[in-house]
Amino acid sequence: MQRLRRMRANGMLRALAAETRADVSKLIYPVFVRCGENVKEEVPSMPGVYRYSADRLGEVADAVAEAGVAGVMLFGIPEQKDESGSGAYDENGVVPRAIRFFKDHFRKTGKSFLVAADICLCEYTSHGHCGMLVGGEVDNDGSLPLHAKAALAAAEAGADMVAPSSMMDGVVGAVRRALDGAGFSSLPIMAYSAKFASAFYGPFRDAADSAPKSGDRKSYQMDVRNAREAVREIEADEREGADIVMVKPALAFLDVVKTARERTLLPLAVYNVSGEYSMVKAAAKEGWLDEKRTVTEIMAAFFRAGADIVITYHALDFARWQKEAEVKG
């Protein structure tokens, strides 16, 4: 008889035989930045997640540095929106200001971490779509220069990485050419390569006020029924110059994550999205789930499926739990 239980007999043996490690240094914490001063407001549908004005980001910087996670991904909420999403590429817009704040804070404190900027138009357009509208339809090619300008604004502010997320065909190539032409050839691109038109984005759209005013995003985000198409998207982004590829959402698409891991040699990121986060928070509040155990299991699942990087709102909590476990150990 094979006695597979031998290596499960106690915590020391289980740790020794563990095939997967959820590494805190591979986590990225999403941060919502809005206009104004002295603002820290909780997102109603995302307990524990806040919108900050730039002058309040010092507490975020200190918490992220203390946690030891890799860095932050910035999402902007402008004071005003317009048809072309001009706030996305305003050099004095909310995200460039936040980037400069972090960099200045690093100089003052001697602490640092990765500062990445999400590149999209949806938070900045009055209609809520990820590109310009022409005749009620998203103009793919006409939107590419605007994404390139947004990436340049982030790069010039000091971003360590840009992450085009609109799912416009050719957006990675457009951003890469713009960066290279402006002297930012060393700035990496994390591509939202396989981003599905998912129901799990609801709380994010609440946080960023980015829901489409009409229609939906199914004409540019991927059909949730398709896995092979995800491979085509990833391969296209590789050819266009992506340095990291991503699957989003993560939890309901672990089959896609596993396939992506088998098909690409690039670092693979997953986004543990707002709906996935809020479901756990809601169930934990009611006592239906143990939050710590559930999140720990979810993190293990992402890395076990093949992710190298996890973008998650759980990052700071998970890092704290890991430190507590080390102290007890």
pLDDT of residue 135: 87
The one catalytic residue in 26, 149, 248, 281 is 248
pLDDT of residue 328: 67
301-327: pLDDT as tens digits: 999 999 999 999 999 999 999 988 876
Quick check: 220 pLDDT over 90?
no
Any residues with CB less than 8 A from the CB of 161 and at least 6 apart, and which? Answer: 114, 115, 116, 117, 187, 188, 189, 190, 244
149-172: pLDDT as tens digits: 999 999 999 999 999 999 999 999
CA distance 74 to 28: 10
Q: Where are the alpha helices (DSSP H) in the chain?
A: 11-17, 57-67, 94-109, 140-157, 171-181, 202-208, 228-240, 254-263, 274-285, 291-305, 315-328
- Please work out, in degrees rounded to the nearest 5, the angle formed at the alpha carbon of residue 204 by the alpha carbons of 258 and 27: 45
Quick check: 296 pLDDT over 90?
yes
pLDDT of residue 56: 96
CA distance 58 to 67: 14
CA distance 317 to 294: 12
Window from 3-12, 28-37, 68-77 with minimum mean pLDDT:
3-12
What is the torsion angle, in degrees rounded to the nearest 10, for the CA atoms of residue 244, residue 264, residue 222 and residue 130? 20
248-276: pLDDT as tens digits: 999 999 999 999 999 999 999 999 999 99
Looking at the chain, the whole-number percentage of residues with pLDDT higher than 70 is 98
Task: List for the chain the helix, strand, coil content (%; round to 5).
Answer: 45, 20, 35
From the list 150, 143, 172, 170, the residue with the least C-alpha distance to 83 is 143
pLDDT of residue 282: 96
Q: Are 273 and 279 in contact (CB under 8 A)?
A: no
pLDDT of residue 103: 96
Quick check: 329 pLDDT over 70?
no
Instruction: Report the relative pairing of strands 40-42 and 114-119 from DSSP bridges.
Output: unpaired
CATH number of this structure's domain 21-328: 3.20.20.70
CA distance 249 to 32: 18
pLDDT band (50, 70, 90) for residue 29:
very high
Quick check: 216 pLDDT over 80?
no
Quick check: 215 pLDDT over 80?
no
Paired strand residues for 268: 245
Arithmetic mean of pLDDT, 19-29: 92
Quick check: 212 pLDDT over 90?
no
pLDDT of residue 218: 79
pLDDT of residue 271: 98
CA distance 176 to 132: 20
- Scored b (16 or more CB within 10 A) or e, 174-187 reads bbbebbeeeebeeb
195 belongs to the catalytic site: yes
The one catalytic residue in 26, 81, 149, 195 is 195
* Number of DSSP helices (H) and strands (E) in the chain, helices first: 11, 12
CA distance 98 to 85: 18
The chain-wide mean pLDDT, for the chain, equals: 93
